[in-house]
Amino acid sequence: MVRKAITTCDALDGANVVIYTKGSYPNNTNVRRDSDVDVVIELHDCLYYDYKPGVIGVEPPPPPYQGAWTPENWRQVVVDALAMAFGPDSIDASGRVAINISAVEGSRPSADVVPSFNYRRYDDPNRTLWHEGSCVFPTDGGSKIVNWPQQQLDNGRSLNTATNHRYKKYVRALKNAENFLAAEGAIGELPSYFMECLVYNVPAAILTTGDLDEGFRATLAHLWGLLEAEESEREMVEPNRMKWLFTSDKKWSIQDGKDLVLATWGHLGYGG
């Protein structure tokens, strides 16, 4: 439905647009209470880029983009296209990043649409080696947010295969635990992606310990050790392996992780 809204929009006729889902749905880590679908509408008519930290690009840089697609114009055209297709009352564009399409019972779930741009991180000065990503500009004027959906998808699938599908089972288990514990007031509500990040940092050998219950218990115990260690802030990564897990711009902290692990351990009756 989102794809049809964009591809039939006259204002986007001829634009090079790539549309795909990201997050828990394509990664098969979604749970019932976290039902929003994340849809990326990514413009490839222009390219944003940075260099890997420590790498300095050769001169001269590529000529700057001079077309009409500023972040503000791009977002507005996407908002207008969605409002035309779904009705203005179904669209909430007040968010800092995503444009929300409200759910219709029996017809569609809620969807968060992210109007993004093609992005590359160059790993050498001559711009011959790069990682392909996606970036979006917040409406409050903050710095662009870079995402790595394909890397997240590939790495998650690889770890899931290596653990006989336990990785994603344990991600969903931890998400369900967080939903229950937050609803009970035992912990604060956390972004569902955080649980995926936490479990990704557990080695395959730990995830495949014993039966499913023993493996999940071992996973929680290993996570507690990671979160207690001083070096965790410098070593734990997101599943895309392109970002550190604990940086100042994140919506979670090491203490959030410890609270979640400890509350889940107690909720499941794992003892001392």
CA distance 116 to 108: 23
Strands 91-92 and 99-101, by their bridges, are antiparallel
What percent of the residues of the chain are helix, what percent strand, and what percent coil, each to the nearest 5? Answer: 40, 20, 40
Q: Which residue has the tokens 């895309």?
A: 240
pLDDT at 118: 98
Q: Which of 27-36, 151-160, 175-184 has the lowest mean pLDDT?
A: 27-36
pTM: 0.91
Q: Which residue has the tokens 């944003």?
A: 48
Helix 254-267 / helix 166-184 crossing angle, nearest 10 deg: 90
pLDDT tens by residue, 98-131: 999 998 988 888 899 999 999 999 999 999 999 9
Contacts of 99 (CB under 8 A, 6+ apart): 75, 78, 79, 82, 91, 92, 93, 112, 113, 114, 115
pLDDT tens by residue, 184-199: 999 999 999 999 999 9
**φ and ψ at 85, to 5 degrees?**
-80, -40
Read out DSSP for 72-97? HHHHHHHHHHHHHHH-GGGEE--SSS
CA distance 255 to 236: 14
Q: Which residue has the higher pLDDT, 235 or 230?
A: 235
Integer angstrom CA distances of residue 121 from 57, 125, 155, 186: 11, 11, 18, 40
> What burial class does residue 117 get, using C-beta atoms within 10 Å of its C-beta: 0-12 exposed, 13-18 middle, 19+ buried?
buried
pLDDT at 35: 62
